[in-house]
């Protein structure tokens, strides 16, 4: 089956991580975010895909190429400026003449697409929308459905008291080609699917079918959700391996010295080196080439490639980008440090700090502060 994956957004909520790397290539369990989606789509028989993005997504094409390594066929459609989701799909799927799948490129899910497609066909819908139940639906597009899950109304980010269900648009849709006739031509961003095209179809009485999915679904839009996705997937992988709490999933050449302490699931990538008396508390992911020095602790965090945590330093609940260097004895709590940030020895960062790529902390002449270190 054919499909379109939307990757052309700016990834603003994931900044500063997305200054140095497009969202689709940020690592989740040491593999690019988009790889998880591609593997799942392939397992569901959706294996002929157009990746719709802008010039800043060329790195995605560079990484995945024609998709053969993942068992999918990938082609790429580029917008000169972000067109909005509707026009982006219209451009990418211009040659499609049969039912196809459209996905946001920043989700991880185990959605049963094959059953969703069957329901789409049975109901004769022009459009089907996967719906995920969530605790705070008002951050998303909320669906109002009837007994057959036909969508009656769609409200984008309603006020909490106006949300009629906890079912939200999960960013995966099944399109009949004629849906694209309802995407208005026009200036950039005029063609949003959720705000323009889907409501127009419902208003015209066309059948727009919901498909509620209570399995796994997460959109990896913010640092909190990025950490959550890593934790969820690592917990799941660890549970598949053994029933104990202490699980070390290490690449063959990762070296964990005797005397290092491990608690909870930890994933250690290729070439990782963890010295004696270091403490790793999961769920934690160490990317390729990371080094955790003597007596340092890394807890419930995700480290990208080649991060160095100096002796006795403490990292908790944080995301550290490629090549980040934490000086000996430094304390990092709830931080998001982009690629190449260096933290001096003994520096205690304010909790929740977000630091731009390459920054040295503390900045000379002033104490680091969330409001000054990121923008
Ligand atoms: P934020 O700036 O943090 O909202 O990130 P985002 O734009 O990446 O996320 P959003 O939830 O707005 O978009 C959902 C998906 O649609 C993401 O995978 C985006 O890359 C993609 N997307 C958003 N706008 C466009 C667009 O104009 N063109 C294309 N091709 N894709 C888009």
CA 222–ligand 1 middle distance (angstroms): 12
Cβ proximity of 218 and 239 under 8 Å: no
Helix (H, G, I), strand (E, B) or coil at 107: strand
Q: Against a cut of 0.95, is the pTM above it? A: no
Q: How confident is residue 250, by pLDDT bands cut at 50, 70 and 90?
A: confident
150: which 2 tokens? 């036909």
Stretch among 11-20, 186-195, 233-242 having the lowest mean pLDDT = 186-195
> Can you say whether residue 171 is alpha, beta or left, with left for phi > 0 and alpha for psi between -120 and 50 degrees?
left
Helix (H, G, I), strand (E, B) or coil at 165: coil
Q: How confident is residue 84, by pLDDT bands cut at 50, 70 and 90?
A: confident
Alpha carbon distance 346, 374 (integer Å): 21
* Residue 153 burial (C-beta neighbours within 10 Å; 0-12, 13-18, 19+): middle
Q: Is the pLDDT of residue 230 over 60?
A: yes
Q: Is the pLDDT of residue 371 over 60?
A: no
Alpha carbon distance 318, 333 (integer Å): 6
Q: Is the pLDDT of residue 247 over 90?
A: no
Helix (H, G, I), strand (E, B) or coil at 141: strand
pLDDT given at position 191: 63
Which residue did the predictor score with more confidence, 212 or 188?
Answer: 212
Asked whether 7 lines ligand 1 (CB < 6 A), one says: yes
pLDDT digit string (tens) for 322-338? Answer: 999 999 999 999 999 99
Asked whether 106 lines ligand 1 (CB < 6 A), one says: yes
CA 221–ligand 1 middle distance (angstroms): 9
Q: How confident is residue 30, by pLDDT bands cut at 50, 70 and 90?
A: very high
Atom 14 (ligand 1) nearest CA: 104
- By DSSP bridging, strand 2-6 and strand 360-361 are unpaired
Q: How confident is residue 245, by pLDDT bands cut at 50, 70 and 90?
A: low
- Cα torsion 68, 17, 306, 329 to 10°: value is -160
Q: How far is CA 205 from CA 63, 127, 202, in A?
A: 43, 12, 5
Q: Is the pLDDT of residue 246 over 90?
A: no
Q: How confident is residue 367, by pLDDT bands cut at 50, 70 and 90?
A: low
Cβ proximity of 116 and 222 under 8 Å: no
pLDDT digit string (tens) for 95-110? Answer: 999 999 999 999 999 9
Ligand 1 mutation target, pool 3, 5, 8, 28, most atoms within 8 A of CB: 8
Alpha carbon distance 155, 158 (integer Å): 6
CA 110–ligand 1 middle distance (angstroms): 21
CA 84–ligand 1 middle distance (angstroms): 8
Q: How confident is residue 370, by pLDDT bands cut at 50, 70 and 90?
A: very low
Ligand 1 mutation target, pool 3, 6, 222, 226, most atoms within 8 A of CB: 6
CB atoms within 10 A of CB 368: 20
Q: Nearest-CA neighbor of 247 among 282, 276, 271, 203?
A: 282
Q: How far is CA 84 from CA 31, 125, 176, 185, 197, in A?
A: 27, 24, 19, 11, 11
Alpha carbon distance 53, 370 (integer Å): 31
∠70-96-218 over CA atoms, to 5°? Answer: 50
Average of pLDDT values for 221-225? Answer: 94
């Amino acid at each position: 089956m054919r499909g379109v994956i939307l990757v052309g957004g700016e990834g603003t909520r994931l900044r500063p991580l997305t200054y140095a790397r497009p969202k689709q290539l940020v690592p989740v369990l040491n593999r690019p975010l988009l790889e998880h989606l591609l593997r799942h789509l392939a397992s569901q028989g959706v294996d002929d895909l157009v990746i719709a993005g802008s010039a800043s997504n060329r790195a995605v094409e560079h990484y995945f190429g024609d998709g053969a390594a993942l068992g999918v066929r990938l082609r790429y459609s580029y917008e000169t400026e972000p067109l909005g989701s509707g026009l982006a799909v219209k451009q990418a799927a211009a040659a499609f003449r049969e039912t196809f799948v459209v996905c946001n490129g920043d989700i991880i899910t185990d959605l049963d697409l094959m059953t969703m497609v069957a329901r789409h066909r049975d109901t004769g819908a022009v459009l089907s929308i996967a719906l995920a139940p969530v605790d705070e639906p008002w951050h998303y597009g909320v669906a109002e459905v009837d007994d057959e899950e036909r969508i009656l109304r769609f409200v984008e980010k309603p006020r909490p008291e106006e949300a009629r269900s906890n079912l939200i648009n999960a960013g995966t849709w099944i399109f009949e080609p004629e849906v694209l006739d309802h995407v208005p031509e026009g200036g950039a961003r005029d063609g949003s699917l959720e705000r323009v095209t889907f409501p127009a179809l419902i208003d015209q009485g066309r059948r727009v079918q919901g498909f509620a999915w209570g399995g796994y679904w997460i959109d990896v839009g913010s640092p909190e959700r990025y950490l959550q996705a890593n934790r969820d997937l690592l917990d799941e992988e660890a549970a598949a391996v053994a029933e104990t709490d202490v699980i070390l999933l290490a690449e063959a050449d990762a070296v964990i010295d005797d005397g290092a302490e491990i608690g909870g699931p930890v994933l250690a990538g290729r070439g990782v080196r963890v010295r004696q008396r270091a403490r790793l508390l999961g769920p934690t992911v160490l990317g390729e080439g990371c080094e955790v020095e003597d007596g340092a602790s890394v807890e419930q965090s995700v480290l990208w490639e080649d991060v160095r945590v100096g002796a006795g330093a403490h990292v908790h609940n944080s995301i550290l980008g490629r090549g980040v260097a934490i000086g000996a004895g430094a304390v990092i709590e709830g931080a998001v440090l982009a690629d190449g940030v260096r933290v001096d020895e003994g520096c205690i960062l304010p909790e929740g700090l977000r630091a731009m790529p390459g920054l040295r902390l503390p900045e000379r002449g002033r104490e680091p502060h969330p409001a000054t270190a990121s923008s």
